Amino acid sequence: MKHRTQASFPGGYRTDIQVLSPGSGKVMEFHTDYSKEYGGDGSAPTPWDTFLAAMTACQGIHVRNFCAEHHIPTEALRVQMDLVLAEDNREVREFRTNIVLPREFPEELKEQLIAEARHCKVVQHLLDFEPTVIYSTEREP
């Protein structure tokens, strides 16, 4: 089964996205929109916000799993991400991830935890891979 995403456009700037995930075998759906300031209705996160949420969630699940494997409580665990933008406010210069650890987190595991957060596929694609983006078109049948 291949991994496929598909976007449709019900009106305005709203986009409905369906994701066929080989991991679950299910089609999941979510939505994006732009704020009213940019012509949308503000009914959903923007595509950029969705990307940032995916990056934070991906790192977060790796961090959560690391803690669970080491029997470290996760109730107080948090993953936060801030951006440092270029002067034009368009290009991201840095993604700064801060992991808020529970008090009982062992100091000697911090570097391993950070390495585990970096194993997130979203981060790996930004840092390690150079995927090719190919565009094509076809007519509706």
pLDDT tens-digit series, residues 57-95: 999 999 999 999 999 999 999 999 999 998 988 888 899
Whether pTM exceeds 0.75: yes
**What percent of the chain is predicted at pLDDT more than 90?**
67
Q: Which position has the token pair 């062992």?
A: 106
* Residue range 48-67, pLDDT digits in tens: 999 999 999 999 999 999 99
Question: Average pLDDT of the chain?
Answer: 91
Find, among 123, 127, 120, the residue nearest to 62 by Cα. Answer: 120
**Which residue, 53, 77, 81, is CA-closest to 64?**
77
| Whole-number Å distance between alpha carbons of 87 and 70 | 42
Which residues lie below 8 Å from residue 125, measured CB to CB, with a gap of 6+?
A: 131
